[in-house]
């Protein structure tokens, strides 16, 4: 898509000629003859750049620049001026104009200046977009869940994010430890500084020290140049040490010194380097047990465990599964480019009864696969991965219910309640979701003694 340029010159012929030249260069150009007309055009259409004459009646280029900078601060403004007013144009650059072009000019000079201005504006716009996306991706809104155990996690994140305290996250694999670590960083005063993540279990012991602290040239075979480590890269920001429980004891001793003294020595160096880093550590292991077994330093544990946060497994917060599933479905629908409105009660019931050993990560993968294979506007139980629930079905065959009628009533009641919640208590919609007649639903509600009230959707 070509950039749109607004040309402002009280000499109508010159403005039209310049706009035509810009059109020939591939831009979309519009010419107006006054600052008032320019402001009206800017209000009605989107422009990427303004090219304006300095000397104009009523409101001159300076007045237009000030108005444009206050209302559209990211849009570059280039000033056209006669040689006699070059000093004024230099002052305007100090006031926010991107650059000035002296009359008479060559169209090549105008084109070169416009290219530079648009290139810079595009970079600024992309950076702003990425920053906004980043903040949105790691805001508290991405921490999805209403269960008491997960609400406690959000409360703890809120309490600690504004502090400098070291945080220890503990939870099973797939519970979202890195997501919480990023939320802590991007909602802290360090949000504009780097967030650096290191998986201590994924890096060989022989390389981990160099990875964390960096090295100097010649420190060991293969060290052909200086290299900064993750601590130096995270200076001023947050360093996330994932799977800290797998860190070798020798590296633990060096990490303890960094935590205590806020300085470190790159491998092969003889001088310490100060560093200001907020540490967030995470593990799926029982670190207290590791301390008792001598696999983790007790002094380091107490240094890292200043503010512990335990992330519950998904099976401990099964009431959050519908919210998480809807959240993942909305995000993945946009990525995959496929519109699916939601889940059938049977699919929600199946997901709610699954154990989810892989936790949130497993649920995310399940929703992505179901979205891909879904043939209708709603994900049904047949769209879910079959192998995901085979263990559940085998377990069900191993034990029979003591009272089959009561068990069937329980299952039927769960489906009906879920359909009523999803339809905000509207029985016509609930019946349609369940594939039964409204009259049949009414009889089942009476039979199961389901009481409808304003809180059914809750």
User: Which of the pair, 249 or 390, is modelled with greater confidence?
Assistant: 249
User: Do residues 113 and 18 lie in contact, with contact meaning Cβ atoms separated by under 8 Å?
Assistant: no
Range in 6-20, 100-114, 441-455 the model is least confident about = 441-455
pLDDT at 240: 95
- Rounded Cα gap, residues 252 and 138, in angstroms: 29
Say which CATH topology domain 4-133 has: Rossmann fold (3.40.50)
Say yes or no: domain 140-312 is CATH 3.40.630.30: no
pLDDT at 288: 92
Given a cut of 60, is residue 455 above it in pLDDT? no
- The percentage of the chain sitting over the pLDDT mark of 70, rounded to a whole number, equals 88
For residues 156-165, one letter each, b for 16 or more C-beta atoms within 10 angstroms of the residue's C-beta and e for the rest, the string is bbeebbeeee
pLDDT at 294: 93
Given a cut of 60, is residue 139 above it in pLDDT? no
pTM listed for this prediction: 0.58
User: Token pair for residue 390?
Assistant: 């085979």
User: Do residues 21 and 107 lie in contact, with contact meaning Cβ atoms separated by under 8 Å?
Assistant: yes
- Rounded Cα gap, residues 70 and 64, in angstroms: 10
How do strand 238-242 and strand 195-199 relate by DSSP bridges? Answer: parallel
Domains 4-133 and 140-312 alike in fold: yes
User: Do residues 120 and 74 lie in contact, with contact meaning Cβ atoms separated by under 8 Å?
Assistant: no
Cβ neighbours around 446 below 10 Å, total: 9
- Rounded Cα gap, residues 357 and 348, in angstroms: 17
Given a cut of 50, is residue 391 above it in pLDDT? no
User: Which of the pair, 206 or 282, is modelled with greater confidence?
Assistant: 282
Identify the CATH class of 317-447: mainly alpha
User: Per residue in 265-321, pLDDT tens?
Assistant: 888 888 888 899 999 999 999 999 999 999 999 999 999 999 999 999 999 998 888
Q: Where are the domains of the chain?
A: 4-133, 140-312, 317-447
Strands (E), 317-369: 342-343
Q: What's the alpha-carbon Rg for the chain, to the nearest Å? A: 31
Q: Angle 321-336/345-353 helices, nearest 10 degrees?
A: 120
């Amino acid at each position: 898509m070509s950039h749109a340029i607004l040309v402002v010159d009280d000499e109508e012929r010159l403005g039209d000629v310049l706009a035509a030249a810009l059109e020939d260069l591939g831009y979309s150009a519009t010419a107006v003859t006054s600052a008032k007309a320019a402001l009206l055009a800017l209000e009605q259409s989107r422009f990427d750049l303004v090219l304006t004459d300095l000397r104009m009646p009523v409101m001159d280029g300076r007045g237009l620049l000030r108005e444009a900078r206050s209302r559209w601060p990211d849009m570059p403004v280039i000033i056209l001026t006669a040689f006699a007013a070059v000093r004024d144009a230099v002052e305007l650059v100090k006031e926010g104009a991107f650059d000035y072009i002296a009359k008479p000019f060559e169209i090549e000079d105008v084109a070169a200046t416009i290219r530079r201005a648009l290139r810079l504006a595009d970079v600024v716009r992309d950076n702003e977009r990425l920053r906004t996306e980043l903040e949105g991706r790691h805001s508290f809104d991405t921490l999805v869940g209403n269960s008491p155990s997960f609400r406690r996690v959000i409360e703890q994140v809120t309490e600690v994010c504004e502090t400098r305290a070291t945080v220890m996250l503990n939870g099973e694999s797939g519970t979202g430890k890195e997501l919480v670590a990023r939320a802590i960083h991007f909602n802290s005063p360090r949000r504009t500084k780097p967030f650096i993540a290191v998986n201590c279990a994924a890096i060989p012991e022989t390389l981990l020290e160099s990875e964390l602290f960096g090295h100097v040239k010649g420190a060991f075979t293969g060290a052909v140049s200086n290299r900064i480590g993750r601590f130096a890269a995270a200076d001023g920001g947050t360093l996330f040490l994932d799977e800290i429980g797998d860190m070798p004891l020798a590296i633990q001793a060096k990490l303890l010194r960094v935590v205590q003294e806020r300085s470190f020595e790159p491998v092969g160096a003889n001088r310490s380097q100060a560093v200001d880093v907020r540490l967030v550590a995470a593990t799926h292991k029982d670190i207290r047990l590791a301390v008792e077994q001598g696999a983790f330093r007790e002094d380091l544990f107490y240094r890292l465990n200043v503010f512990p946060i335990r992330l519950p497994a998904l099976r401990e917060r099964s009431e959050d599964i519908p919210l998480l599933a809807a959240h993942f479905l909305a995000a993945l629908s946009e990525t995959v480019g496929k519109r699916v409105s939601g889940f059938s009660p049977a699919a929600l019931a199946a997901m709610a009864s699954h154990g989810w050993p892989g936790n949130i990560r497993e649920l995310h993968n399940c929703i992505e696969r179901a979205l891909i294979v879904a043939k209708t506007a709603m994900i049904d139980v047949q769209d879910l991965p079959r192998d995901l629930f085979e263990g559940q079905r085998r377990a069900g065959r191993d034990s029979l219910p003591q009272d089959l009628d009561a068990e069937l009533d329980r299952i039927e009641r769960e489906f009906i309640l879920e359909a009523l919640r999803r339809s905000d208590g509207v029985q016509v919609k609930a019946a349609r979701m369940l594939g039964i007649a409204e009259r049949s639903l009414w009889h089942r509600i009476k039979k199961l003694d389901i009481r409808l009230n304003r809180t059914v959707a809750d």
